[in-house]
Amino acid sequence: MEINIENKRALITCSSRGIGKDIAIALAKENVSVCLISRTENELKDLCDYIKDNGGKAIYHVMDLFINDKEKLNELKNKIKNEFGSIDIIINNANIIVSPKKLSLIDENDWYKTIDINLNFFFNLFRLFIEDMKNNKWGRIIHLISLTNYMNYSNAAYSTVKGALEYLNRNIVYDYSKFGINSNIITQGILDNEKLKKHFSKENIEKFLNNIPSRRLGKVSDITDLVIFLCSEKASYINGVNIDVSGGLSIVGMHY
């Protein structure tokens, strides 16, 4: 299948580790220039070098998504302008989960932090690049959310902001689709990656597996292949949807 996204320019939030990193590598393999953002410079630099050593084009920007720092945002805009010209693809992969889960117990700062990182940062980012996307008559926005939103063990702050992204997605589609800009959501299930192994015991993972209708954990490529497809012209009529990539887990819910 022809993908034809080479020479596009993507910004991926929270991309030094986890699925953000995997998405950046996958896009770079398709000759998309990638801009990486997170707080840890050495990880970003290593990833940038890795992508460049493999023939890709990458830059990074060290930034805490929590701090609404206009100067840092302008720095980001200028860096992108100088290196890439602009951005065509935004992967909103921000991820912060605070404990405890219950609304009445969440620390006030944690509540605001969750909203700032998972939602408000995207608001700022969108406004940095939307005019260029409109002028270019092309853009792709992909939000990554979690199926924990729909389950009874949800974290109140996290699910609230991830849920808000669903309504934001609809608004973007309503107002910007006529400029060739598509916005979609990917709901992730349980990915088989280092993070899972770090946070859950073998026994717990076994219980997850028994619960997932497809009887396997998500592969990184389940997500990265979909991201690439959604960015391509083949998916130009897929707009405003939330694609569930959980092996059916959202249908049955999590019981363990």
Binding footprint of ligand NAP on the chain (CB under 6 A): 14-20, 38-40, 43, 64-66, 93, 95-96, 117, 144-146, 188, 190-191, 195
* CB of 216 vs ligand NAP, minimal distance in Å: 13
Instruction: Between 9 and 162, name the residue whose CB sits nearer to ligand NAP.
Output: 162
* CB of 190 vs ligand NAP, minimal distance in Å: 5
Q: How far is CA 41 from CA 13, 36, 256, in A?
A: 14, 10, 38
Q: Which residue is nearest to ligand NAP (CB)?
A: 18
Instruction: Between 17 and 57, name the residue whose CB sits nearer to ligand NAP.
Output: 17
* CB of 97 vs ligand NAP, minimal distance in Å: 8
* CB of 194 vs ligand NAP, minimal distance in Å: 8
Instruction: Between 18 and 56, name the residue whose CB sits nearer to ligand NAP.
Output: 18
Q: Residue 27: CA atoms inside 13 Å, Cβ hemisphere, count? A: 32
* CB of 73 vs ligand NAP, minimal distance in Å: 13
Instruction: Between 132 and 222, name the residue whose CB sits nearer to ligand NAP.
Output: 222
Instruction: Between 96 and 156, name the residue whose CB sits nearer to ligand NAP.
Output: 96
